[in-house]
Amino acid sequence: MPTQYPDILFQQKINKEIKIEPKDWMPEAYRKTNIRQISQHAHSEIVGMLPEGNWISRAPTLKRKAILIAKVQDEAGHGLYLYSAAETLGITRDEMIDDLHCGKAKYSSIFNYPSLTWADMGAIGWLVDGAAILNQVALCRTSYGPYARALVRICKEESFHQRQGFETLLVLSQGTVDQKAMCQDAINRWWWPSLMMFGPKDSESTNNDMGIKWKIKRKTNDELRQNFVDMAAEQVKVLGMSLPDPALQWNEANKKYDFGELNWDEFWKVVKGNGPCNKQRLAARVKAHEDGAWVREAAVAYQRKRKAAVRSSFGEAKEAV
């Protein structure tokens, strides 16, 4: 492998859809932007456990509780696959966690909104997981091998999450007047923040061009947002509910839905740490990490003991020979 692998050959490999693997040469900016995106994605999965974790003890039935526990556990698993994928690029788990806890690393804006009613569990599943999966299905073809492979499994689980969310809302939408109202209220509150998950408009996105060129991102923020609107605008009809956007309208010429402008001031406020729950979410993560210190210490002590036991039994075996 030449020490100065030309950028042009790297780009050719990307163009031919050959996956980039951990030991392959890569431009420093490619490595850094993958670390940024994968670690932020991992943080989103971990912080994303909080709004739903909030409802585990208040789920209306044992079945709903079991489903919610399984879903929240899945999100933890996604975070772990993604941290492992990012580690292959030369950053440690501790460094990533420190970056999250000191506010340097971002996580998805969506998880800074409160989950106020049981219907929010349905809206998160349908809209938040729905937005996540649209993005992640495209990312299964991302150019960095470990990230792409992690996403294949994540997508299988996310599609179950989305369907359980939709089914939760479907039951409410066929319930009492109060349940219908709760369903509509949850959709109203989660709709616009879900559209913000796709990031700023392409014209404002700092990472789009490089992401697309290196096939880290397979679709732009605006393309994915449009795909999501087109999907949700049809699915909401099955619920007999509406989306809170007076500008939402089918455009026959474009074969797409037109939709209203997002509140970008709100988006940037949340991204910069000043959303409704940013401080609460970060404080919960820091506390969980500190409370879990004894588990990490015990795991290290156990590993040390096991290694010592293997060494001594190896020594005994040699003596016997």
User: Which residues here bind ligand FAQ, judged by CB under 6 A?
Assistant: 36-37, 40-41, 44-45, 48, 75, 106, 108-109, 124, 128-129, 132, 135, 196-200, 205-208, 211, 217, 221, 271
**Which tokens sit at 105?**
């690393």
Of 175 and 273, which CB lies nearer to ligand FAQ in the complex structure?
273
- Decide if 68 contacts 55 (C-beta within 8 A): yes
Taking the least distance from each CB to ligand FAQ, the nearer of 41 and 285 is 41
Q: What Rg value do the Cα atoms of the chain yield, rounded?
A: 22
CB of 199 to ligand FAQ, least distance (A): 3
Min. distance of Cβ 217 from ligand FAQ in angstroms?
Answer: 6
For ligand FAQ, give the closer residue by CB, 159 or 242. Answer: 159
Task: Determine the residue type at 212.
Answer: I
User: What is the three-class DSSP state of 271?
Assistant: helix
Four-CA torsion 158, 163, 167, 169, nearest 10 degrees: 60
Smallest separation (angstroms) from ligand FAQ to the CB of 310: 38
Measured from the CB atom, is 9 or 76 closer to ligand FAQ? 76
End-to-end C-alpha distance for the chain, whole angstroms: 44
Query: Least distance in Å: CB of 137 to ligand FAQ?
Result: 11
Measured in degrees and rounded to the nearest 5, phi and psi for residue 302 equal: -65, -45
CB atoms within 10 A of CB 278: 20
Least Å distance between CB 273 and ligand FAQ? 10
Complex with ligand FAQ: residue 28 or 178, whichever CB lies closer: 28
Q: What stretches of the chain adopt beta strand conformation (E)?
A: 249-251, 256-258
Nearer to ligand FAQ, 169 or 271 (CB): 271
CB closest to ligand FAQ, residue no: 48
Question: In the complex, what is the shortest distance from the CB of residue 271 to ligand FAQ, in angstroms, rounded to a whole number?
Answer: 4
* C-beta separation of 100 from 285 below 8 A: yes
Give the residue with the Cβ less far from ligand FAQ, 25 or 160: 160
Pick from 35, 22, 9, 23: which is nearest to 106 by CA? 35
Distance CA 112, CA 109 (A): 6
Cα–Cα distance between 316 and 318 in angstroms, integer?
A: 5
User: What's the closest the beta carbon of residue 186 comes to ligand FAQ, in angstroms?
Assistant: 14
